[in-house]
Amino acid sequence: MAEQGVVSAEPRPSARAVPGPLGWAAAFVVLVAVVAVTAQAGAWFVPFIAGAAAGVASLRWRRMVLLAVAAAVAGFAIPLWVLALRGLPAGATARAIASLAGLPPYAAVTIVATLLLAALQALAGAWLTRALLPRRR
């Protein structure tokens, strides 16, 4: 028969153990790499999937959504930056896209709009996941 009311001297592992700074940094680097590689391959919807995964993880770790949004923005920025470093006409392409979209014909406007769309996709994925999953009580 188990004794009731006995307190163990051993620390009980917490169900909500927060990763340390190295864990958050590793998660950020992995998410940035996944988003950057898939963005370069043309899978523009991956920030939404990363946001949905962050929405599930945010039930356990609160800062996960912010990490996913930052990783989505960085992951979309890296392929754009690599294209510009290779000497490809990324600025001219961005100006052409801006003029077709009815935006001011500046490359920075299109790049900021692209990065904002990555952030909005991640936030929408996290919101949808949090809306569909039941909350713990």
pLDDT in tens, 39-64: 999 999 999 999 999 989 887 877 88
Q: Is the pLDDT of residue 30 over 60?
A: yes
Number of domains in the chain: 1
Is 63 a member of any domain? Answer: yes
Is 98 a member of any domain? Answer: yes
Is 113 a member of any domain? Answer: yes
Is 84 a member of any domain? Answer: yes
Is 47 a member of any domain? Answer: yes
Is 55 a member of any domain? Answer: yes
Q: Which domain holds residue 107?
A: 41-132
pLDDT in tens, 4-17: 666 655 655 555 56
pTM: 0.79
pLDDT of residue 7: 61
pLDDT of residue 106: 86
pLDDT of residue 24: 85
**Read out DSSP for 51-103?**
HHHHHHHTTT-TTHHHHHHHHHHHHHHHHHHHHHHTT--HHHHHHHHHHHHTS
